[in-house]
Structure 1
């Protein structure tokens, strides 16, 4: 919604998972068909995003603070751990959520001790989250930076 509203590019890391898997296999870094999670997607994400001509909204759990940095142009939308577990259970009742919680813990751990801006999204609607992001970036949104 943010990208659409302000004319930015939207890059979904999840939407590129199979493309990344094919690229990694072609480079000999991965066995095609074994899933996109066992190789480093960071170089491909950066290769995809950096040449874009406009501001980019990058969405995806694979984008960690260590990868993207925590500068003024970054905001992290994070549920609390309890909320994350509730959401995961809602998507897959009775499932094994350890891998997805591990990702939450990785991102949260990388955010601790930094000046990163985090918006806790527990109980927020999409519209409330959009408003919080707009408030965070204020004048930058109108400038297209």
Structure 2
């Protein structure tokens, strides 16, 4: 079984997905952590020019190949998890802060940092979700535990299998 958790930077994807995997004995897979490897694999296959960035090609086939090779239930998380990649079934959820909450979370994580690129990503994720029927959890003012509980509730039927 594959559980998908997407959302913009600062939404809590990594923290919540790691806790979900630990709590239920699943493997945790970070799309972002594999970005460089995917870029190298795409370049070797002639699909991509090495060094131009991991967002310039379709990573879905590599992500699915990686996850399927694990032969286990997996929690896949990352900003690159889109409705097109994961589908909008009960095993996929997106954590979405408001723009204000995202900026506050990013500032708390890196005071005084340049967060404009990450804030721009909020709009991209939001536009990918619009009109899809995707499962979205608004995470403003939620603790990590509250967000984890909300994800477990959304995945409830699948967690029992």
- 1:117 corresponds to: 135
- Cα distance between partner residues in 2 of 1:59 and 1:92: 25
Is residue 101 of structure 2 the alignment partner of residue 93 of structure 1?
no
What's the TM-score, normalizing by structure 2? 0.75
Query: Structure 2 stretches of 5 or more lacking a match?
Result: 1-18
Give the Cα–Cα distance (whole angstroms) in 1 for the partners of residues 76 and 141 of structure 2: 22
Secondary structure, in 3 states, of the residue corresponding to 1:138? helix
Deviations 1:1-25 (A, max 9, x none): 1111112221101111121121122
Q: Following the alignment from structure 1 to structure 2, what is the Cα–Cα distance between the partners of residues 33 and 130?
A: 35
Normalized against structure 1, the TM-score is what?
A: 0.83
Residue of structure 1 in register with 2:102 after alignment: 84
Pick the aligned partner of 1:59 from 61, 64, 77. Answer: 77
Alignment partner, residue 107 of structure 1 = 125
Segments of 4+ in structure 1 off by > 6 A? none
The structure 2 residue matched to 1:10, chosen from 7, 15, 28, is 28
